[in-house]
Amino acid sequence: MQHAIQPSDPGGYAPPVAGHRVSATLDAETYRIVRELVAWKGTSLSAWLARAARRQAFFDERTRLFDEIQEEIGPFSEEELRRADEYLDSIGVPRPPE
């Protein structure tokens, strides 16, 4: 049986992985929410932020490809965009916060 990694357990973190150390600044409310979620997930802040960055990169890459398609074939019509929004809503894809 697997157990969640507890931030309070010094030996509970996953082994270090090769990567790049970065510094980020979060507003107070975002930081509070992230700390709560990190504790809830039972992971490290670094692991949580890395996963969040990977997920955002996945979606941003697709947005960039979407823009490239429009450059190649022209802009999508309002009807096409409305149908795409309806489809995404029907399968439960959440709208990203601004």
Residue among 3, 88, 93 at smallest CA distance from 42: 3
pLDDT tens, per residue, the chain with 98 residues: 344 444 454 445 555 667 888 888 999 999 999 999 999 999 999 999 999 999 999 989 988 998 999 999 999 999 999 999 999 999 998 877 76
Question: Considering the entire predicted model, what is its pTM?
Answer: 0.61
Q: 23 lies in a domain? A: no
Q: 7 lies in a domain? A: no
State the total domains in the chain. Answer: 1
Range of the structural domain that residue 74 is part of:
28-90
Give the Cβ contact number of residue 43 at 10 Å.
Answer: 21
Q: 37 lies in a domain? A: yes
Place of tokens 């270090």: 16
Contact 41, 4 (CB under 8 A): yes
